[in-house]
Structure 1
Amino acid sequence: MGNKKGIIAEFKEFVLRGNVVDLAVGVIIGAAFQAIVNSLVKDIISPLIGVITGGVDFTNKFVLLYAAPQGADVSTLQAAQALGPVFAYGSFITAVINFLIMASVIFMMIKVINSLRGKKQQAEPAAPTDKECPYCFSRINVSATRCPNCTSQLNGQPETAQED
């Protein structure tokens, strides 16, 4: 019985840990965002592309990998697949086009979100690890008090020399 309480307490601690909760929130928001992007692509962008390209539809482009029986209807991909294997290159082309459209939409949405945020995420520059010796101009460790190349005494401040 005491072991079960330990497992329950351990599970509760695991679930309530910050990164698990953050991950759950991210997945939920990601699913909602996916619905928005899917609707934008399906309901707005794809119809516009259909009008521009004259209604070209690649989904029913395929090559039969079998001899179709006489009189069999193989005018659609589903009918051809019901009779045997097909090389459905049109479905692949459609998937690639949908991916490119979705990637473009997501890219544009992220750009808009970043511009609304008003700042670009930039990495903090790393603290310098070396400096230049004011006497011989060689690169030395930033905490050096004497140059290992010319043996000049440094005053501990970068880029300046101590008067002798």
Structure 2
Amino acid sequence: MKSFIQEFKDFAIKGNMIDMAVGIIIGTAFNNVVNTLVKKVIMPPLSILTDGVNYADRKYVLKTAEGENKEIAIGYGELVEVLVDFIIIALTIFIVIKFINRFKKKSEDPNNKTVETPKNIELLSNIEELMKEQNTLLKSKK
């Protein structure tokens, strides 16, 4: 019976923990790329289409406090912006996974038999052909 510490050590050493860490790091970097894509590339043209309205500032004011310049409001604009972010992220991930799966299917295709001949075997084949040519030339001179 293994101890808890031994089980954790096996889990960490066998790569499961390392695979998770790599996935999280790549996911975080990908998240930064997509956030920049959304905020700097996609949202500015959408703002032009909507006459310069910034969705993050859109809200429905329920009540304003008189003396403190505070208001109680529902910020639906941020929700719209987050939903657009989500749709773009989901679409981007879908396209990337589809692209990866295309290559994965191609590599697993049993009809795809294009395998590059290793260099040493190719050289041996060339030497064999040269030797055959040499033998025919030598036989023809006799």
- Sequence identity of aligned pairs in percent? 39
Which of 45, 51, 66 is the matching residue for 1:69?
A: 66
* Counterpart Cα distance in 2 of 1:9 and 1:118: 36
Question: 2:2 aligned with 1:16, yes or no?
Answer: no
C-alpha displacement of 1:16:
0.8
The answer to whether structure 1 residue 43 and structure 2 residue 40 are counterparts is: yes
For 1:44, the aligned partner's letter is V
Which structure is higher in helix share?
A: 2
CA gap 1:121/1:48 in 2 versus in 1, 3 angstroms: farther
State TM-score, norm by structure 2: 0.56
Alignment partner, residue 125 of structure 2 = none
Corresponding letter in the other structure for 1:59: A
- Give the match's secondary structure for 1:59: helix
- Distance in 2, matches of 1:121 and 1:104, equals 24
The 2-side partners of 1:119 and 1:16 are apart by: 31
Counterpart in the other structure of 2:96: 109
Aligned match of 1:88:
75
Cα distance in 1 for partners of 2:100, 2:51 equals 33
Alpha carbons of structure 1 residues 107 and 120: separation in structure 2 relative to 1, 3 Å: farther
Give unmatched runs, 5+ long, in structure 1.
1-5, 74-82, 123-164
The number of residue pairs the alignment matches comes to 106
